[in-house]
């Protein structure tokens, strides 16, 4: 079938809208008619080469919609509503077997090749192969994806909130709930108040953190953070040391967990310097591949400070997505506050301009016809 989609022709270029051929779903695959897609900073990383992606490639990895067709052996049924996960897992590799399905040793190497789980693409244009991004490619009217990326959600779950649950929300909330395991009364700081950071703030509030301190360069983003539940705001002070001191002073004696949601090495250092004894910096954002982070070594023994890594909120999508959507339905997570703009597919480059100008929270693309 023919679909309209936004393609990255080559690293560093702007996205172009074209018509593509989308092949039928193969074994254990399904075609999803997309309703909405989120626009994520990870897409910007793919565009500018921070996280290189095979080109030409259809980007987008935050999507939700309705199952429209299924391949042989699929467990899915036409008409089911799904939120998409960019971390499908095989269930049988060493990492999956020890419960780290978000670090699946089969899916991660396959993702970088731009195909689906079998390594081949379902996308083409004029007979030329076009690559997938993150197994999904949601900047499109429809996509063919692995069954293992399709998380069935209730028919009444909002199809505009579900896409961001599939990436930013789970990355931020999961870092707080699954990786850090924040306890009631603990103190949390969140560095970087984009979609992931604001989600971490909501997760910390829902976990009854006593303090949730937002840190950012932008006054607008700090105001967004307060609106999303932060109890205090600290503007970036120009260096890791000064910003760490400011958070230390505001929190009393430092925070239990400092969440790094910018991908910048100096901010990771600031997170570490903001923690109290036995506190932890939680690094969740994508840095440049060559980036190195420095920490003052003496405070590992002297204060028992720690550093934790977190990928995709250490989540298991089939558990976490429906749980987060249910808590949103109950009013415990105001996820709709993350959505600031709704644009058409043809306005996709405007969405990235809004992101670069720090003028948006999350931008959604309306893919319904
Ligand atoms: Zn994302
Ligand atoms: Zn696996």
Domains of the chain: 2-159+334-366 (3.90.180.10), 172-311 (3.40.50.720)
How many angstroms is it from 296 CA to the middle of ligand 1? Answer: 31
pLDDT band at 359 (very low <50, low <70, confident <90, very high): confident
Q: What per-residue confidence (pLDDT) applies to 369? A: 74
Q: Is 243:270 a contact under the CB 8 Å cutoff?
A: yes
Determine the 3-state secondary structure of 60 from DSSP.
coil
pLDDT band at 271 (very low <50, low <70, confident <90, very high): very high
pLDDT band at 98 (very low <50, low <70, confident <90, very high): very high
DSSP calls for 149-204 = GEEEE-TTS-TTTHHHIIIIIHHHHHIIIIII-PPTT-EEEEE--SHHHHHHHHHH
How many angstroms is it from 240 CA to the middle of ligand 1? Answer: 26
Token representation of residue 281? 């910096």
How many angstroms is it from 302 CA to the middle of ligand 1? Answer: 37
How many angstroms is it from 88 CA to the middle of ligand 2? Answer: 8
67 backbone dihedrals φ, ψ, rounded to 5°: -65, 125
Question: Which ligand has the shortest distance to the CA of 41?
Answer: 1
Q: At which residue do the structure tokens 């506050």 appear?
A: 337
Q: What global pTM score does this model have?
A: 0.96
Alpha carbon distance 255, 273 (integer Å): 10
Average pLDDT, the chain: 97
pLDDT band at 356 (very low <50, low <70, confident <90, very high): confident
pLDDT in tens, 190-201: 999 999 999 999
How many angstroms is it from 165 CA to the middle of ligand 2? Answer: 22
How many angstroms is it from 42 CA to the middle of ligand 2? Answer: 23
Interval 306-326 mean pLDDT: 98
Q: How many C-beta neighbours within 10 Å does residue 112 have?
A: 12
Question: Which ligand has the shortest distance to the CA of 103?
Answer: 2
Interval 204-233 mean pLDDT: 97
Question: Which ligand has the shortest distance to the CA of 172?
Answer: 1
Label the pairing between strands 29-39 and 63-70: antiparallel
pLDDT > 90? residue 140: yes
Top-confidence residue, 358 or 285:
285
How many angstroms is it from 103 CA to the middle of ligand 2? Answer: 7
How many angstroms is it from 108 CA to the middle of ligand 2? Answer: 9
Interval 332-351 mean pLDDT: 97
Token representation of residue 308? 């934790």
Determine the 3-state secondary structure of 123 from DSSP.
strand
Q: How many C-beta neighbours within 10 Å does residue 227 have?
A: 13
Beta bridge partners of 189: 213, 258
Could you tell me the sign of the dihedral formed by the alpha carbons of 365, 320, 42, 307, in that order? positive
Alpha carbon distance 3, 20 (integer Å): 5
Interval 282-299 mean pLDDT: 95
Q: What per-residue confidence (pLDDT) applies to 113? A: 94
Question: Which ligand has the shortest distance to the CA of 44?
Answer: 1
Q: What per-residue confidence (pLDDT) applies to 31? A: 98
Q: At which residue do the structure tokens 């400092």 appear?
A: 258
Alpha carbon distance 59, 261 (integer Å): 21
Question: Which ligand has the shortest distance to the CA of 148?
Answer: 2
* H runs (alpha helix) in 41-142: 41-48, 94-97, 107-111
How many angstroms is it from 94 CA to the middle of ligand 2? Answer: 7
Label the pairing between strands 339-344 and 306-309: unpaired
DSSP calls for 214-258 = EEES-HHHHHHHHHTT-SEEEE--SSHHHHHHHHHHHHSS-EEEE
Query: Pick from 20, 27, 22: which is nearest to 6 by CA?
Result: 20
Q: What per-residue confidence (pLDDT) applies to 358? A: 82
List b or e across 228-266, with b for residues whose CB sees 16 or more CB atoms inside 10 angstroms. bbbbbbbebbeebeebbebbbebbeebbbbbbbbbbbbb
Q: Which helix (H) or strand (E) holds 63?
A: strand 63-70
How many angstroms is it from 99 CA to the middle of ligand 2? Answer: 9
């Amino acid at each position: 079938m023919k679909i309209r989609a936004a393609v990255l022709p080559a690293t560093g270029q702007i996205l172009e809208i074209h018509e593509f051929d989308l092949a039928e779903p193969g074994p254990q695959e399904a075609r999803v008619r997309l309703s909405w897609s989120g626009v994520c900073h990870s897409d910007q990383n793919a565009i500018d080469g921070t996280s290189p992606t095979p080109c030409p490639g259809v980007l987008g990895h935050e999507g939700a919609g309705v199952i429209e067709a299924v391949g042989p052996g699929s467990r899915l049924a036409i008409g089911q509503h799904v939120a998409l996960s960019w971390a499908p897992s095989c269930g049988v590799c060493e990492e999956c077997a020890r419960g780290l399905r978000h670090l699946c040793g089969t899916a991660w190497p396959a993702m970088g090749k731009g195909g689906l789980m079998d390594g081949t693409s379902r996308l083409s244009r004029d007979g030329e192969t076009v690559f997938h991004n993150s197994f999904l490619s949601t900047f499109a009217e429809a996509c063919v994806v692995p069954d293992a990326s399709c998380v069935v959600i209730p028919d009444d779950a909002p199809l505009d909130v579900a896409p961001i649950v599939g990436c930013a929300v789970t990355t931020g909330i999961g870092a707080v709930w699954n990786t850090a395991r924040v306890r009631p009364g603990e103190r949390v700081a969140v560095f970087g108040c984009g979609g992931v950071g604001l989600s971490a703030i909501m997760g910390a509030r829902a976990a009854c953190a006593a303090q949730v301190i937002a840190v950012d360069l932008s006054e607008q983003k700090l105001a967004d953070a307060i609106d999303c539940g932060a109890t205090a705001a600290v503007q970036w002070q120009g260096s890791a040391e000064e910003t760490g001191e400011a958070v230390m002073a505001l929190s009393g004696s430092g925070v239990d967990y400092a969440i790094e949601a910018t991908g910048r090495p100096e901010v990771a250092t600031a997170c570490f310097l903001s923690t109290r004894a036995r506190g932890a910096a939680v690094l969740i954002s994508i840095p440049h591949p060559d980036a190195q982070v420095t920490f003052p070594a003496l405070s590992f023994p002297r204060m028992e400070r720690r550093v934790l890594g977190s990928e995709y909120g250490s989540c298991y999508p089939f558990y976490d997505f429906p749980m987060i959507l249910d808590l949103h339905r109950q009013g415990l997570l105001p996820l709709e506050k993350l959505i600031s703009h709704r644009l058409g597919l043809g306005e996709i480059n405007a969405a990235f301009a809004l992101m670069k100008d720090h003028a948006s929270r999350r931008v959604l693309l309306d893919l319904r016809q």
